[in-house]
Structure 1
Amino acid sequence: MYLIVGLGNPGVEYAHTRHNVGFDIIDLIAEKYNIRMNRIKFKGTCGDGLIGGEKILLLKPSTYMNLSGESLVEAANFYKIPRENIIVIYDDVSLEVGRMRIRPEGSAGGHNGIKNIILHLSSEMFPRIKVGVGQPKDGLIPHVLGRFPKEERETLEKLFPAAADAVEAIIKYGVTEAMNKYNGFKTN
C-alpha cells in the first residue's frame, strides 16, 4: 500500500496558493483515478483507490502546513505503510514555476511541512515530489501564502498532470525510474 500526501493549508483563503500545490495535485490525482476524497480521518481529508494496480490512500492534512507530520504519521501507522511507500507532494521556492523534482529522500531544505514530517517519522527517507513555485520577491511568507499571477498559474497547471503521472511512475517502476523520466521536466 502507498500513502500519497499533498501538503497545503485547509480553508478557502488558502485555496490555490503557492503553498497549496500539493492539495491541487491530490485533487487532480483523485479525479484521474476516480477516488472520492470524502473521508475525514487521520487529521485530514482522504480517499482510497488503486494506482498502477496498487492500493493507495490519498491524504490532504487539515493540520495546517507546519503540522503536516501529525496527519501523515497517523495514516502511515494505521496502515503500517513503510516510509519508502509514502510519497509527499509539496511546493518548493528553489525551483522555478513549471519545474518539478523527485527525490528518494533528503532534508527539509527549510520547508516547515517537511521538517514536521521528518520529525514525526524520525527519518528523511521517504520519496517526495517538489513542485516549483518560484523565488520570493517580497518575503517568504507572503510569497507562499499568495496566489499565482494568471500566467504563472497557467504554467503550473500544465505541470500538474505530469506530477500525477510521476506518482504512478514511482508506484509502478520505483523512484529512480520516475526521477530519470520526470526530473528536469519543464512546462513550456
Structure 2
Amino acid sequence: MNAPLKLTDRKRQAIVDAAIAEFRSSGFDTTSMDKIAATAGVSKRTVYNHFPSKDELFAQILHELWCSVGAMQPPPYDAARPLRQQLLDLLNKKMEMLQDGYFLDLARVAIAEGIHSPERAQEMVARLSDKEEAVTAWLRAAQADGKLLKAGDPEIASQLLQGQLKTFAFWPQVTMNQPPLSTAMQRAVVDTAIDMFLAYAG
C-alpha cells in the first residue's frame, strides 16, 4: 500500500493536474500561472515555489509522460516461451498504458504543444522512439533466434506492430476524445494485431 502523500507533494500534484487541464483547454501560450494557481486552489507563490516558470511546469508534464511510458516496458525476449504468449504480454502492456486516462491527458498536452513548437515536437518524437526501443529489441532478439524469419527491419516491424494498437486505442482518444476501448475490444485489437503480425513475419 502506498504511503499517503505529504501536503507539499499533494500541492505539487494539484499544480501539475491544474496545468494539464488548463493547457488542454486554453493551450500553453495563453495559460497563465495565475490561472493554474486558481485551478489548483493554491497561491501563485506556491506555484512558483514548485515550478519557477511555465516551461519548467511543462517539462514536468513531459517527465511524467516519459515515466508512464517507461513503467510499461515489456520483459525481454525469452527463447523458452511461446512466441504468441510473449507477444500477448508485450501488447497487453502497451494497451494498458494507452488506455490509462492520466497518460492520455499527458499525451494530449504534449502533442498539442508539439504542433505549435517544432523543436519540442522533434524532442518528443525522439524520446518516445527511445522509450519504444524495448519492442524493437524484443523483435531483434526473436529474429536472431530464428523465430521471425520474414519480419524484415525490426524498427519498421516494431512501428507496424505498435501502430495497430495506436490506430484504435490512442489516436481516436487523444485527437477526438473518444472513450477508452472496452475490455472486449482491447482484447480483440491485441489478438488481431498479433495474428496479422505472425501471418506476415512468422
**TM > 0.5 between the two?**
no
Higher relative contact order (CA 8 A, sep 6+): 1
Q: Which one has the bigger strand percentage?
A: 1
Structure 1 or 2, whichever has the larger Rg, is 2
Q: Which one has the bigger helix percentage?
A: 2
